[in-house]
Chains A and B, each alone.
Chain A
């Protein structure tokens, strides 16, 4: 045993030295890092990289340009980090092609760091604040996102130089049992949504004495507006691989899969490269680090069914069957892929593993709450000013996320609700802003942690429409196997559609509630069991909005098209301006004898073009609900 441990430790020491060499030489000359995860690329990061490379080449400047992952500040994308010897590393946001070439010209070639364009510095210094100095930085605590956006995801040395694979090297000399026990002590709960204790899952799988076992990374992220897993895979793929390797070692598996949805091509590509690099370095494959631990990893590309994130459906789809859940038990930890004991963990869950093994369970428990230790990664979207990914300790409040991290509501509007947990989660109103974010508090509040999608809604968002939207999603994604999910969600959707069209009846609310309760109790899998949550939570907190739709034919948020009309306020219309007329695609706006513009309600398709076109100094176009108000207004005006 001691000989073996020396062998693994020695082998890893060599890798570490090589990695440190690569990492340190990066500092010899200017280093430019462009955030080029999918979010960065969508904002034009690849063009920025090209501009920087061309500018450097034309000036014959020696500098290294690398594409890194995402730091989470998606609102400010494209992001560029510049590390120049004798300067702090500076992060620039909203980088345009012009700014990119200016940075090369002024900062790399010259010595002006253009601090007016800096978002923040990465290290404490005398002239630029760091991210930690902002309200967001005070809430944030990075564990799994610590190296996202500051290392090259396609270079294993960058990962190793920052402590990567140390946990594997350390654990490989220990028994699987010790690894399981460490994870159990850490209290880590599955970050895929349900929050099941990871250590318990592993222990169950470990106790089955089978020669063949499997570990699977569930990267079938599908919640609308959620992109945590994608970012982790793209920004730090080795972290996931190391977590998966540790899981395999812990339960005694020698074959693992990463179930990644095919809609994430960049993640697939980076994971593929990472697997190859890890195999070349002896960190995956046969006799890892010279020991008798073998692990081959393979990518399985899912074809887009949301329900395949459910573990039994995921297994079915890997076995070549339709992605349809089956009854549990048996749980996959007992009989999973091809009937063998299988551990399935979410990307985020696996990403925590190396950190826990390296720094210990006690370290992990220092963050978060006693029952939900650690941090949580959220994809903050919707009506907040600063959208993006954020990692915060469990137990912070919703208001900290919305106001400190998200910088509050865009456009000075009124906060209405936050939808947390994706289509399986719920909408929480203002009175829940001080709710702590952890698995149990959110469940109690009628929402759920989910995988980390968080959509903030303001006064312009109709809660009935939001419920309809999410139900439409789950209804579309229902596999159709069981009665309650297939037909129950369909019946609920029919009712919600009626209500948003103003055709609902008061008794529909009771029917809806009953259906929701029954679908929750009666469905076979968790997709069905959680599908009614958006309806139940909006009914609980915003019942008045449902009632306004039904009894008054009015949408209080002026969102439901059937219940609103566009109206031009005669006293605000500037008469000589024709902006609205020009913008209308169906020629529904005309000038009356006083040259005041009027909307022909028969023709209007409610596209909102006129409202957008009307110059802000007039703001003459308004929405009215119920639409009958137009007639009243017109009568008032004679």
Chain B
């Protein structure tokens, strides 16, 4: 059992386990920090790709990601400030400029992390000044129980981790830059892979890109 430490987040004095990252210390004490890619079981080697969980630590000159920063005794953390809010909004806007928005018919609507962030931080879902960067990739309906829509994917990589730990490790991240995507080996449809249909990928997907159906 690890030691407990004390720190302050947004003026609230909280306790956290030593070695935990600030993101988890905050979330477990009902302080919300926007995040998409973080998984607690991976916290010692965080993915740190979504770049939304920015916070300020007193004494540090620049904003840092809460998922990579360990909580330390006596630390004073702020999750909100003008500059943090701007940075988080900028990151969120970028993600939304590449997310196919169809909340009205999206099966994930209501349970969607993107909607949650928008609501918490009062950010519009559709960014104003950016162009929509749609890639118009085909949906994968090949598996009865899972629908994969890459145009909604935010590349948080959680499904890949889930598939490796709970499923049959058919999902991976491939290609680079703007072309990067969650896909299978050789880009074959899910239905032609060893996918067991366990649904663990859909369970962790924050953006409605992987949806479990009733079949």
Contact = CB atoms under 8 A, between A and B. Distances in A.
Interface stretch (B1-9, B107-115, B173-181, B191-199): B173-181
Contacts of B97: 487, 491
A480 B155 contact: yes
A479 B54 contact: no
A515 interface: yes
B177 A478 contact: yes
Nearest to B133: A490
B145 interface: no
Nearest to A493: B178
A326 B37 CA distance: 13
Contact of A327 (B62, B68, B133): B68
Nearest to A518: B90
Contacts of A286: none
Given A326-B48, A522-B51, A514 B179 contact: no
Interface in B91-150: 91, 94-95, 97-98, 129-131, 133
Contacts of B87: 518, 521-522
B207 interface: no
A364 interface: no
A595 B29 CA distance: 85
Nearest to A521: B87
A486 B90 contact: no
A479 B177 CA distance: 5
Given A483-B95, A487-B133, A514-B90, A327 B51 contact: no
B76 interface: no
B193 to A, nearest CB: 19
A482 B37 CA distance: 10
A223 to B, nearest CB: 17
Q: What is the size category of the interface that chain B forms with chain A?
A: 20 to 34
B91 A522 contact: yes
A491 B98 CA distance: 10
Contacts of A514: 90
A480 B68 contact: no
A475 B178 contact: yes
B63 interface: yes
A67 B6 CA distance: 67
A523 B64 CA distance: 11
Main secondary structure of the interface of B (DSSP, over half): loop
Nearest to A307: B176
Nearest to B127: A491
A494 B95 CA distance: 16
Contacts of A507: 129
B52 interface: yes
Contacts of A484: 51, 90-91, 94
A483 B176 contact: no
B74 to A, nearest CB: 20
Interface string A498-515: 000000000100010011
Contacts of B155: 480-481, 486
B87 to A, nearest CB: 6
A476 B177 CA distance: 6
A521 B62 contact: yes
B68 A486 contact: no
B49 interface: yes
Interface string B15-44: 000000000000000000000000000000
Nearest to B70: A329
B130 A483 contact: no
B189 interface: no
A322 B178 contact: no
B176 A305 contact: yes
B178 A480 contact: yes
23 contacts: A305-B176, A477-B177, A480-B155, A480-B176, A480-B177, A480-B179, A480-B180, A481-B49, A482-B49, A482-B50, A486-B177, A487-B133, A487-B178, A488-B94, A490-B178, A491-B130, A494-B133, A507-B129, A511-B129, A514-B90, A518-B90, A522-B51, A524-B49
Given A475-B178, A491-B133, 11 more contacts: A305-B176, A477-B177, A479-B177, A480-B180, A481-B47, A486-B177, A491-B94, A494-B131, A522-B91, A523-B51, A524-B48
